[in-house]
Amino acid sequence: MTIKKALQESTISRLENRKMDNPFKVYKPLDRGNDKLDSSILSFSLVPVNTCNGACKGCYDLKSFRYESVCLKRKYNLHMVINERYNLETMIIKQIKNSRTVKAVRIHVGGDFNLKAYTAQYIDMWKNITIAIRSIKPGVKFYTYTKTDKTETLKSFGINVVKSIRDDGNYNFDTLENLQEYQILNPEWFICPVYKENPNYDNVKCGKTCKACQITERILFVKH
């Protein structure tokens, strides 16, 4: 299946008010780590582009969307948000509660908070989740990235929001050379160390050796 066709089949309008059987033997909404994220981080993702403010040029998440398993998981996640939000909320809380190793939850490796008529209820879901987890596991941090106007709302209930737009109006990702030039004039911005040009690349791990995204908002990312 092409990426274009996968996106066409995973739109909000196609999924709303429609039954979708669970395609997994065991459905766990949150994914555990990957090559870049430490296993102590659980993440939740939606369909890219369809839940974003359009498609960013060179969207990195579309690369992973080439895999059928990723497409299916994201589609089902979006279906749950639209049609079974309260069940999804309960499942996420339970998964975090039962995890022995979770230290942080990343909201969106892919996707964003632009769910049209469902945006408010989706944000309410995460508000309820953060409140519930705060009373159970107060040390667990929540963080996300967004290009929507929901930053202040998300921050109000304890989600750290990494700014996707720099102070000069450009996106927070670029070539290493350009980012270094920007950082000279704006030292409050931190360059994420997880990039291949970093001579210490093999020894850095998001959520383990670096936890900047969990606690600060001004972070720059090298294009990959």
Q: pTM here?
A: 0.93
pLDDT of residue 175: 94
Q: Read off the pLDDT of residues 9-30 as tens digits, 9 standing for 90 and up.
A: 999 999 998 899 999 999 999 9
pLDDT of residue 55: 67
The residue written with tokens 């359009």 in the block is: 54
Q: C-alpha distances in angstroms, 60 versus 35, 44, 110, 188? A: 15, 16, 9, 25
Has residue 2 got a pLDDT over 90? Answer: no
pLDDT of residue 35: 72
Domain boundaries, the chain: 3-161, 165-224
